[in-house]
Structure 1
């Protein structure tokens, strides 16, 4: 979750198997936020609009 600006330092993505059906939704949301942060970082690093 390094690229999730809302996550605490060194936060990990939990195993969704132990969170029931909602656990998978939560992990998906975490991944989606981190992917947006990663894309923002890449765009800034390579000066992509």
Structure 2
């Protein structure tokens, strides 16, 4: 896998580890991970 993110257990906070082939893409993965903390992004469907 060339890019992605994972969460790590922490008693008080959430830690996110992101990886990608470039810094810009790593920041994009960090943004995805942040939204995943807020809500289950797989449950979001586009409105018609």
Asked whether the two chains share a fold, i.e. TM above 0.5, the reply is no
TM-score by length of 1: 0.36
TM-score by length of 2: 0.37
Q: Which has the higher contact order (CA 8 A, sep 6+)?
A: 1
* Larger strand proportion of the pair: 2
* Larger helix proportion of the pair: 1
